[in-house]
Structure 1
Amino acid sequence: MLKILFQRLLAAILLLLPSTLALAETDLSFNGSTIERLKETRVLRVGYGSAQPFSFKTSSGEVVGYSIDLCRAMARKMQAMLDLPELSVELVQRTPANRIQLLNDGGIDIECNASTNVADRRKAVFFTPPHFIAQTKVVSLARNNINRIDDLRGKSVAVVLGTVNVSQILQLSRERKLGLVSVPVNEVREAFELVKSGRVSAFAMDDVLIRNLIAQTGNPDDYVVSSEAISEPQPYGFMTRINDPQFAELAATALRSIYRSPQMQEMYDRWFMQPFEGSPQGLNLPISDELKASFATQ
């Protein structure tokens, strides 16, 4: 009997051993320098999302977008700065809920999408200099007659897990005694579909992302974006690991060089002034004076 128990225990240990070793390897890989790993592997792991026009997959499966173009250009700058013969970009899909965890456990080296740079997040990650500036607003069906924040009283509002909009809606409801019902989902498009189908009254999200979602419907008059903003203008940045300031500075230096170059205006116009897959009319969103000044002074 003891022999059988011992054999079962040994088998269980052997089954657990590979996963234990894998976890140990992951931990060891990212307690050190990202720059040294770049030199060793010549691969930059880039996290992407599903937030047009920042990063998204086309119908053919290609990952594209404003943030992706920026991070590919950044990788080329890094390659030159580190004097590497090559530096390829490996694209890794992430969600708003798991992006910081992927950074911390080494699944990605940098997140290239549309993450808002706020104080709470800066406790967990480094942010690169801003590549966009946005405000949080709410979108609803026009027939719901939601034009101002107070029109949301007692209504259901979709929010995307892992975004700043979750806490913004909770704080707004508390401060204005609105009695909002938050409906959390995993992705931006999923939340917008809830609005389209009438399953929630509104969706709180960054204005530029809302604008793109409405443009894709082909029926923009069916929707209303609140005249009031839930937040002040807030910068987007690319996130890097909090325990690696050297890599964060490398990324920031590479991006500053791009932001100040003639290439920057072309890159911006490609995604905000011209049509792209999913947005045949384009967003027609000229670069703001605030963002232009940010690029020039970083």
Structure 2
Amino acid sequence: MMYDVIIVGGSYAGLSAGLQLARARRQVLMIDAGQRRNRFAATSHGFLGQDGQAPEFIAAEGRRQLMEYPTVTWLQDSVVQTAEQAQGFSVRTEHNGTLQGKRLILATGVVDDLPDIDGLKERWGKRVFHCPYCHGYELDSGRIGVLATSSLAMHHALMLPDWGTTTLFTNGVFTPDTEQQAQLDRRGVSVQSGAVRRISGERADLELDDGRVFNLDGIFTMSRTRISPLAEQLGCGMTDGPTGPYLHTNDMRQTSVPGVFACGDTSLAAGSVALAVAEGVRAGVGAHVSLING
């Protein structure tokens, strides 16, 4: 069967793109491996109408609503290879062979490569975060640490005093210059030098190499992000973002390869459910318009 659109990734952006196409009565194939980026978090915030809901509830309800449309097929699988062909695109899956579509939407998200610090990975999405708008309020104006992985730590450090008492841990990778230190002083941010040894405790006790321990309510840090190799297989153009590459798209979220669209974290250097849903709308509409125009 030749689908009108194959969407790779069934999280928030992919679901949103699929909904636009389903309502246009197009034949849509959703392929999802079940690895949402925010699967480690207990609650999701900042999305109007869903604030405080569990991420898995939002995703499951979105899928339930999407699957009410008879032109949508859901495949729980991983795509391992994509290719352009005369009539559109083919995708080869891990368990269900090769499938074909006239258009392709990449909603594959990103993979977070976390700082290699003992105790951090276990607390990712629980006490260690990347988005203040998603998790800052729940720290209840408490003690917040910013773990530097690069000079981008300044971005977090200057934002987070609105959510609590903030300490920047330079971690041996970043030293504020005179102007940056003045900015931190104006925002009331304290600075602690030295490498971070581990994070432990029920909340987030941060220990430095010299033995000092800081009892924190939460920590914010920047991961490095990787996108799916599927885009590279197709030759899609990329842009260097602050934490890693992401796909370059136009206003309708078409990539540099005609007929291939992208949405969500894979094409936007920012991560939130609300933004992913909005970008999915644009990609779904963009793919539909391209089908109309041939």
Superposition TM-score, scaled by structure 2 size: 0.29
Superposition TM-score, scaled by structure 1 size: 0.29
| Greater C-alpha radius of gyration | 1
Q: Hey, which of these two has a bigger chunk of helix by percent?
A: 1
Q: Hey, which of these two has a bigger chunk of strand by percent?
A: 2
